Amino acid sequence: MGQKPITFLRQVTALCLYPELLNDNKFPDDAKQKAMRILQACGGNSIGSYSASQGIEIIRQDVAKYIETRDGGIRSNPDDIYLSTGASDSIVTMLKLLVAGQGNARTGVMIPIPQYPLYSAALAELGAVQVNYYLDEENCWALDITELRRALEEARKHCNPKVLCIINPGNPTGQVQSRKCIEDVIRFAAEENLFLMADEVYQDNVYAKGCAFHSFKKVLFEMGPKYSDVVELASFHSTSKGFMGECGFRGGYMEVVNMDPAVKQQLTKLVSVRLCPPVPGQALLDVVVNPPQPGDPSYKEFIAEKQAVLGNLAEKARLTEEILNQAPGIQCNPVQGAMYSFPRIEMPERAIKLAQAEGQAPDMFFCMKLLEETGICVVPGSGFGQREGTHHFRMTILPPTEKLKILLERLKDFHQKFVQEYS
């Protein structure tokens, strides 16, 4: 998608991978110091060694400090931090830990619809019961407690719902949940004795005016001991998103809060089976949570690059909403955060019937025609789940601005032509 890597992240990683470069004067001193600190924490001073299963100790300490700073001083314990192979790995591990039972006693896991397919796939693999709750498209994909309650009561008839998953900022829907909404969710989880899983991998990606990222942990502790002593929470972050976009390194972490010590022991056993997360990914994560500070040689360049990436994404989020909404029959909610839009498309009845005759979901039919005629690849909404009778597609806002403008105009023209052709 043309996004350039952040220089400092790659410099430190390169130094860790090939320590001979520590003698090279092309690298700034702060990058060398960071690399040496990471290497000294590795077995045999090499990132080719296995690490502890939970992750390298100093990196977990740095993650805990990062969380404390982010959450305004609320304490984070390195022992509650598990480094992982991206966020996906720890999400699947946590689901594996929580799923049990047979028949009507089988664990139910509540997930937002539309959802990121990692959840439905992991639940199918684990034989858990997927409990859908629908986000409110008319209200910018907000989370509605009435809908959560409906989904929970419905599910209790055929399974044992124990887990509530939240994706904030949202994928594929790009919304940022309000603080009030997060408080409501925490109260609901406390009342219904649900384990909360907060997928917060897009926490750096918030663009809309009046929107801010609030971590579930921060809100939980600010609500006081009535909640912060009892609600069990696991939250997830990753090096793949944000301003970093370093997906291939597979770096991430999970923090658990209020987990019973005996259960936590089982979690540690479960992660031990995988030996350890990739050590280069751990090293990169360390630089993300412990970046250059004001006064460091690399600070100015680092901040300029970070702000440029996030500024560009904010501009592209605005453009996407603006151009798509100019097309009759396409409705796109504001892209408040994350990296995607999830527009709703009107489909002529004839196109819907043709799709069904071919055994395809109508929005899949639309996406295939779009791909064949324009070369633009978007994902049908049916892959993420959507309300009956509605049709969507998910597209990323990541292409370079000039390309994105062309892409959006072509998409708009194609939709108009598609509607005429099948009307």
For the chain, how many structural domains are there in total?
2
Residue position matching structure tokens 């997906």: 247
- Residue 68: enclosing H or E segment and its boundaries? helix 57-70
Count, in order, helices (H) and strands (E) of the chain. 15, 12
Reading the chain (423 residues) residue by residue, the pLDDT tens digits are 888 999 999 999 999 999 999 999 999 999 999 999 999 999 999 999 999 989 999 999 999 999 999 999 999 999 999 999 988 899 999 999 999 888 889 999 999 999 888 899 999 999 999 999 999 988 888 899 999 999 999 999 999 999 999 999 888 888 899 999 999 999 999 999 999 999 999 998 888 888 899 999 999 999 999 999 999 999 999 999 888 888 889 999 999 999 999 999 999 999 898 889 999 999 999 999 999 999 999 999 999 999 999 998 999 999 888 888 888 889 999 888 888 899 999 989 999 998 999 898 999 999 999 999 999 999 999 888 888 889 999 988 888 889 999 998 999 899 999 998 888
Enclosing domain of residue 276: 50-289
Of the candidates 84, 118, 92, 93, which has an alpha carbon nearest to the alpha carbon of residue 251?
84
What is the three-state SS of 392-413?
EEEEECCCCHHHHHHHHHHHHH
Cα separation, 361 vs 29, whole angstroms: 56
Q: Are residues 228 and 134 in the same domain?
A: yes
Q: Are residues 274 and 325 in the same domain?
A: no
Q: Are residues 268 and 412 in the same domain?
A: no
Q: Compute CA distances 324 → 205, 409, 421, whole Å.
A: 21, 8, 20
Cα–chain-centroid distance for residue 59?
Answer: 21
Q: Is there a domain that residue 2 lies in?
A: no
Q: What is the largest CA-CA distance in the chain?
A: 68
Q: Are residues 151 and 104 in the same domain?
A: yes
Assign residue 256 the CATH number of its domain: 3.40.640.10
Q: Is there a domain that residue 10 lies in?
A: no
Q: Are residues 221 and 329 in the same domain?
A: no
φ and ψ at residue 117, rounded to 5 degrees: -60, -10
Q: Are residues 244 and 209 in the same domain?
A: yes
Q: Is there a domain that residue 40 lies in?
A: no
- State the pairing for strand pair 344-345/340-341: unpaired
Q: Is there a domain that residue 332 lies in?
A: yes
Of the candidates 176, 199, 172, which has an alpha carbon nearest to the alpha carbon of residue 363?
172
Helices within 273-346 (DSSP H only): 279-289, 299-324
Dihedral sign from CA coordinates of 379, 99, 264, 197: positive
pTM assigned to the model: 0.91
Q: Give residue 216's pLDDT.
A: 95
Of 258, 289, 320, which closes a domain?
289
Q: CB count, 10 Å around CB of 307?
A: 11
Q: Is there a domain that residue 370 lies in?
A: yes
Assign residue 383 the CATH number of its domain: 3.90.1150.10
Q: Are residues 391 and 357 in the same domain?
A: yes
Cα separation, 40 vs 43, whole angstroms: 8
Cα separation, 290 vs 204, whole angstroms: 15
Q: Are residues 130 and 223 in the same domain?
A: yes
Q: Are residues 139 and 74 in the same domain?
A: yes
φ and ψ at residue 333, rounded to 5 degrees: -65, 155
Cα separation, 423 vs 420, whole angstroms: 5
Q: Are residues 173 and 219 in the same domain?
A: yes
- Residues 245, 298, 5, CA angle at the centre, nearest 5°? 20
Q: Is there a domain that residue 6 lies in?
A: no
Q: Are residues 284 and 324 in the same domain?
A: no
Q: Is there a domain that residue 38 lies in?
A: no
